[in-house]
Amino acid sequence: MHRTVLAAAFLSIPAAAQIGSPLAFEVAGPGVWRAEVGSPEAPRLISEDGTRRAGVLRVPLGEAEHPFAEDAATGWVDAGRVGLRFPLGAAEEIYGLGLDFGAVRQNGRIHELGVDHWGGRTGRTHAPVAMWVSSAGYAVLVDAPRRMTVYVGTGLRSQSDAPPVVQDRNTDDRWIAHPAGDSVEVAIASAGAVVYVFGGPTPLEAVRRYVLHSAGGGVLPPLWGLGFHHRTPTRWSEREVRDEVLEFERRGFPLDVIGLEPGWQSHAYPCSLEWSEERFPDPGKFVAELGELGIRVNLWTNPFLLPGCALEQSLAGQLATHRVWNGAVVDFELPDARTTYGAHLARVALDVGASGFKVDEVDGFDRWLWPDTARFPSGIDGERARQTYGLRTLQLVDGLFRARDQRTWGLARATNAGGAGLPFVLYNDHYSHQDFIRALVNASFTGLLWTPEVRGSESGEEWLARMQTVCFSPLAMLNAWSSGTKPWSFPDVEDEVRETMLLRLRFLPYLYAAFASYRFDGIPPLRAMPLVEGWYEAADAGARRKHLENQWLVGEGLLVAPLFAGERKRTVCLPRGKWYDFHTGALVGGGEVVEIESPRERIPMFVREGSLIPLAAAGLRAPVAGSRTPLEVRHYGTEPGRATLYDDDGRSFAFERGEHVWGTLTYDGEQGTSVWSGDQPFATWGEPTWVSVRPAEDD
Amino acid sequence: MHRTVLAAAFLSIPAAAQIGSPLAFEVAGPGVWRAEVGSPEAPRLISEDGTRRAGVLRVPLGEAEHPFAEDAATGWVDAGRVGLRFPLGAAEEIYGLGLDFGAVRQNGRIHELGVDHWGGRTGRTHAPVAMWVSSAGYAVLVDAPRRMTVYVGTGLRSQSDAPPVVQDRNTDDRWIAHPAGDSVEVAIASAGAVVYVFGGPTPLEAVRRYVLHSAGGGVLPPLWGLGFHHRTPTRWSEREVRDEVLEFERRGFPLDVIGLEPGWQSHAYPCSLEWSEERFPDPGKFVAELGELGIRVNLWTNPFLLPGCALEQSLAGQLATHRVWNGAVVDFELPDARTTYGAHLARVALDVGASGFKVDEVDGFDRWLWPDTARFPSGIDGERARQTYGLRTLQLVDGLFRARDQRTWGLARATNAGGAGLPFVLYNDHYSHQDFIRALVNASFTGLLWTPEVRGSESGEEWLARMQTVCFSPLAMLNAWSSGTKPWSFPDVEDEVRETMLLRLRFLPYLYAAFASYRFDGIPPLRAMPLVEGWYEAADAGARRKHLENQWLVGEGLLVAPLFAGERKRTVCLPRGKWYDFHTGALVGGGEVVEIESPRERIPMFVREGSLIPLAAAGLRAPVAGSRTPLEVRHYGTEPGRATLYDDDGRSFAFERGEHVWGTLTYDGEQGTSVWSGDQPFATWGEPTWVSVRPAEDD
């Protein structure tokens, strides 16, 4: 273990078997180490903005040791390339590397990380965060504004201490095509890079250190952001949007946010970023009227500007050499450009009352985005602009709302390392239910949030299964801009879909507390199983590997294991402890793989012994401060349970200035108490009713 | 037009809209211009080895003009990146960019060129030649030992002279997602690059200039190389191989080359590169016995060496930092390593009488190849080694045979720019019949040869259709090392398959002359339609685009348009002129798209008016010098026809020292003459019989 190594002179690399010199790590924070290789290029992704820390940690972090032996992690620069090598133990499992739709366990895979629309090329994705998390309880992050390739245990070094066994394919049927390597290696075509190591001792603590170090903690959405979101067809005018909102209410479907697509603008693709006078003649009035119904308005944007429009004219000299869909591309690395663009967005959208944005297409898709040969006036090239453009756009929008002391909650097509604290949830055009769940799971390793949005389905059954998944995700959304689908479009499951959406609303006290833990303690509100206590005692590696991909934890003690269309049964891999069926209260098991069966209207969920699940009274809108929304606190099993509540004004940053309270619920099956850290000035949550959920045969 | 521009001082790039400075082209050869950008890295792909020129051109080249206006092609280096920009006209069609299985017309596509197993990622392929050919009659080649990205008319420059029309997607249903750009742009993470421009005036002449400039002309195989090749199951011993050869003969199927797979070695994957004493106790005797039957032996290799084997021990200090399948990787950039490895191959294989090699797996597949982080003792990194490894291995093998004045003909999994003159045909593990044909067609733009090998089929009909295709390709091969399939494995088409293979053998006089034109004049023996006279007068752009992908020319005047399994009809796009059905002699059309119908046993082929097709008497082995193999010369239509013949010893490089003759056949339907450029000392071809092929109703 080493805390600080004096920066060694960087060696020019001999053409020898052993390459590179040891990385010279220095302490950068509690359990965080940092090293530079060569001359890192601008811009940086990680700002080390610990100043945004919301307060002292409520959940302490363990003592972290540096994971690598003194000279085991090495780096070099040669011919304009950075090389990095980190040791990898034979039993270690590696996760992370950004928003991967293809797999959760990354050993044996090669990620060509780069911001892109996800299309099956490993590593090219909407958030190609160059950070991996080890089952051994540490994480490594490489900060470089470039595409890079990460080899997870694939390269076979001739100098390996533990080389794989040599086999003869001619005679040995056990011959394997992919013998395992003993390293994670990274190649970057760049003059330098910054390397961070986050200590554990657990994988969760390594992730927390990343979130806390890079963003001062995760993001806390406004409470309404956790309600239901719906997006309307792109050419609709204000009357049609208003009618849609009323139809949701009339049918009893919850709704908090309505999203307008490009048609809110007078010209889009490329964008004028001005309201269409034809479709939205009085946007202020329109937004205010929806506000009176308790509905927020979210606006679609992409930052590719109509040549000749007022905003584009005011950005002369601050635009890239290339256009996108004929639209001028703003250089967000330039402070003046950010100011001009931000002021315009604020006037057009925030002044009118819009609650947030859908930031589309900042990921790119090679054929329509700028090429790598593009140049930006700040001096960066097309490749660097692409790796950072989503992140910069989101930071800009975040700043607009922060400046008004107003929380926002929106959608983004691209981000990168350093985006953990930003109020955006990722989405894309892909639509595999299984892949969407993998993305939801993977997101938690690298400070990301993902919504498996619903758009349409082949059948009512699939519609319901997808709706169940999205209602236990960071952002519950029907994105119908193209399809025009309604929640009630499949009459055979209309009631079940309504109940699922209402259940989402009931879960808001629980979800809001989970996000508060993310904000204050850096604990992801939804997380992959390796970030859950007792996971490695649940089953053997094969069973864990399979279930990694199709189940996740929400908050402190709720395991979600969805069914796909056509399924009534599945297996669930339960971590150590005792787990109870959320719906029936039956003991299901613990530290084992169990087969479960479920009617289609219930998403299979399991509560860990010792947890309580606080549910709000059913409603169509997210509760607001002062509503004293009644709580039903569910208890499972025989041991005393405990849950956290969190409350604040639900919409501003006053919570960062101390204006928030934490609640602790305890219930042993007979005696329940709720204790608040203050006198509950926000009063979002009302009095609890205590309910022990028991299977029918126990009655 | 400019011939020489004085090298301008290279400008550092301002962050402005117009990027780069004009490329400073200098004349590098007849109709060939060369420019450098920055500091090009070693190693180079193009050797400019015009010294290998076989003789004076028999088919003259037109007068070439430099295709770009004085300052229109630009380049720059910044932040370790080369950028290049070439103008692209609105009507220009771009082809080439190496062995692409996905498309022939490249406009609107982005190629991330890099040596790799082809797996659907545009540009990652076995031969990612960074050269494109324009319908306007020129070609551009970028020489850099790096991966690079080529944007063919996708980037939209804000400074474009002819920007696309701006549309409003909100209201305009004609909105298009991919407006066309006006440039070909190239991005390379490198300190420099070399750019070549090859003038026309036709696309074919641009290709010829590349082949002549980079390799002194194409490759002329030994005559036996154009016969039939078969590869046997990997664990077979010498008796089983010999029995297979005899079985071909017994059943009347032609065979010239038998290929042994890894099992000829004592240890493979990693490789000992020594014979297996168990399976091949006396290799010299084995090869000699097959030789007496007229059969050549080809040996599988990959250059990943068994640690501890004699060859690996002798290469200490000349191996890369990483292994492949546990095998040591030789650094072929080191002259000593080439000498040591070559001497070993010569002893083990050439001394024993082997005729050539199948050079496998030098393309890599990321998971088992060395990573980019690998280093080679010569100083190159893993990325550069990967782009050049196939090429270097083939050059090494070529040199071994040249040193013995012996022509070889083999298989390769990877090559790159500069490989045009090497005696190898590319192959891979993919198996789409349609994709294989696209590869065959595409290969011709960039000096490559591709075999659509047959391995197995779902049905006899498919088996026959695939066999027809491979018999009109550069290398007719059944590769059954894994499947054990025989040509006669589908009894319902056994006779038709035999006839197809025999027809291949009958075409040898025609094919050998086509390859001689490749060797002497740089004219690809099989070529894509844009390299055929009269193509642009054949039909409109849409029809041409469709047929680009499924028909090709062999030699001077034979158009092949295969059927796929299940088809009896198809359309053919015929260039200007008159075209006749090869089988029936019927006039089919010219300068138009025609629908044709064909029984399954006949591959549709069409002969251009004015051509003759010389066929040899049917045989099981390729003819040899002195055999005076009788010729049947087929004549079509009503005009006089003409064809070229070529003859030499069929096996050595004596032809380069002048020992060869050209023959000219002419026949007007009544009078036929054959005129030779010498007194026919080789006498491979005998007297012609003249046949006018006419449809039955003409009789």
| DSSP code string of A604-645 | -EEEETTBEEEEEPP-SS---TT--EEEEEEEESSS-EEEEE
Tell me whether residues B156 and A270 touch, CB distance under 8 A: no
Residues of A in contact with B377 (CB under 8 A): 15-16
Of A80, A265, A375, the CB nearest to B15: A375
Task: Note the pLDDT tens digit of each residue in A140-184.
Answer: 999 999 999 999 999 999 989 888 999 999 999 999 989 999 999
3-state secondary structure of A375: strand
Q: What is the pLDDT of residue B18?
A: 55
pTM of the entire predicted model: 0.95
Tell me whether residues A170 and B322 touch, CB distance under 8 A: no
Residue B307: HSE in the Cβ half-sphere, 13 Å Cα cutoff: 18
Q: What is the pLDDT of residue A49?
A: 67
SS (H, E, C) B513-546: HHHHHHHHHCCCCEECHHHCCCHHHCCCHHHHHH
Name the residue of chain A whose CA is nearest to B84's CA. A373
Tell me whether residues B185 and A371 touch, CB distance under 8 A: yes
Q: What is the pLDDT of residue B49?
A: 67
Q: What is the pLDDT of residue A55?
A: 77
A contact residues 195-234, partner B, Cβ 8 Å cutoff? 234
B contact residues 56-85, partner A, Cβ 8 Å cutoff? 78-81, 83-85
Q: What is the pLDDT of residue B13?
A: 36
Residue A435: which of A31, A103, A13 has the closest Cα?
A103
Name the residue of chain A whose CA is nearest to B149's CA. A372
Residue A209: which of A24, A45, A50, A395 has the closest Cα?
A50
Tell me whether residues A15 and B378 touch, CB distance under 8 A: yes
A615 within 8 A of A631, measured Cβ to Cβ: yes
Tell me whether residues A169 and B268 touch, CB distance under 8 A: yes
Query: Which residue matches tokens 């391995």?
Result: B455
| Mutate: best of A74, A88, A156, A236, partner B, most B CBs <10 A | A156
Tell me how far apart the alpha carbons of residues A677 and A667 are, in angstroms, rounded to a whole number: 18
A contact residues 1-60, partner B, Cβ 8 Å cutoff? 13, 15-19, 41
Q: What is the pLDDT of residue A11?
A: 35
B399: enclosing H helix or E strand:
helix B382-403
Burial of A173 (0-12, 13-18, 19+ CB in 10 A): exposed
Q: What's at A625, amino acid-wise?
A: A
A contact residues 560-599, partner B, Cβ 8 Å cutoff? none
Query: Which residue matches tokens 């992919």?
Result: A178
Mean pLDDT throughout A402-414? 98
In B173-274, alpha helices (H): 203-215, 238-251
Burial of B174 (0-12, 13-18, 19+ CB in 10 A): exposed
Mean pLDDT throughout A431-453? 97
A345 within 8 A of A394, measured Cβ to Cβ: no
Residue B434: which of B571, B605, B549 has the closest Cα?
B549
Q: What is the pLDDT of residue A331?
A: 97
Task: Note the pLDDT tens digit of each residue in B44-57.
Answer: 999 876 667 877 89
Q: How many beta carbons lie within 10 A of that of residue A263, not counting itself?
A: 23
Q: How much of chain A, in percent, has pLDDT values that exceed 70?
A: 97
Tell me whether residues A79 and B191 touch, CB distance under 8 A: yes
| Mutate: best of B372, B384, B429, partner A, most A CBs <10 A | B372
Min distance A65 CA to chain B CA atoms (Å) = 27
Order of all β-strands in the sheet with B296-301: B424-426, B410-412, B356-359, B296-301, B257-260, B228-231, B476-479
Q: What's at A672, amino acid-wise?
A: G
Tell me whether residues B375 and A41 touch, CB distance under 8 A: no
Min distance A207 CA to chain B CA atoms (Å) = 27
Tell me how far apart the alpha carbons of residues B301 and B327 are, in angstroms, rounded to a whole number: 13
Task: Note the pLDDT tens digit of each residue in A520-530.
Answer: 999 999 999 99
The gap from C-alpha A81 to its chain's centroid, in whole angstroms, comes to 30
Tell me how far apart the alpha carbons of residues A211 and A221 are, in angstroms, rounded to a whole number: 16
Of A15, A80, A187, the CB nearest to B377: A15
Residues of chain B predicted below pLDDT 50:
1-17, 698-699
Of B15, B83, B164, the CB nearest to A379: B15
pLDDT band at A16 (very low <50, low <70, confident <90, very high): very low
Structure tokens at B214: 């980079």
A contact residues 90-119, partner B, Cβ 8 Å cutoff? 108-110
Q: What is the pLDDT of residue A696?
A: 80
Residues of B in contact with A163 (CB under 8 A): 323, 326
A contact residues 271-290, partner B, Cβ 8 Å cutoff? 276
Min distance A186 CA to chain B CA atoms (Å) = 7
pLDDT(A268) > 80: yes
pLDDT band at A10 (very low <50, low <70, confident <90, very high): very low
B contact residues 322-351, partner A, Cβ 8 Å cutoff? 322-326, 328
Of B269, B322, B384, the CB nearest to A155: B322
A contact residues 370-399, partner B, Cβ 8 Å cutoff? 370-379, 381-384
pLDDT(A13) > 70: no
E strands, A240-396, in order: 257-260, 296-301, 304-305, 319-324, 327-330, 356-359
Of A81, A171, A367, the CB nearest to B110: A367
Mean pLDDT throughout A420-440? 96
Task: Note the pLDDT tens digit of each residue in B410-439.
Answer: 999 999 999 999 999 999 999 999 999 999
Residues of A in contact with B110 (CB under 8 A): 366-367, 371
Structure tokens at B416: 């790159």
SS (H, E, C) B348-382: HHHCCCCCEEEECCCCCCCCCCCCCCCECCCCCEH
Residues of B in contact with A176 (CB under 8 A): none
| Peptide linkage before A201 cis (omega within 30 of 0) | yes
**ipTM value:** 0.94
Residues of A in contact with B192 (CB under 8 A): none
Instruction: Let me know how many helices (H) and strands (E) chain A has, helices first.
Output: 11, 38
Q: Could you tell me the CA-to-CA distances from B261 to B32, B230, B235, B324, B618 in Å, in that order?
A: 42, 11, 8, 18, 29
Tell me whether residues A326 and B167 touch, CB distance under 8 A: yes
A184 in contact with B, Cβ within 8 Å: no
Tell me whether residues B381 and A157 touch, CB distance under 8 A: no
A contact residues 436-495, partner B, Cβ 8 Å cutoff? none
Task: Note the pLDDT tens digit of each residue in A327-343.
Answer: 999 999 999 999 999 99
Tell me whether residues B381 and A78 touch, CB distance under 8 A: yes
pLDDT(A48) > 90: no
Of B16, B179, B322, the CB nearest to A157: B322
Tell me whether residues A81 and B383 touch, CB distance under 8 A: yes
Tell me how far apart the alpha carbons of residues A47 and B150 are, in angstroms, rounded to a whole number: 33
Mean of the per-residue pLDDT values for chain A? 94
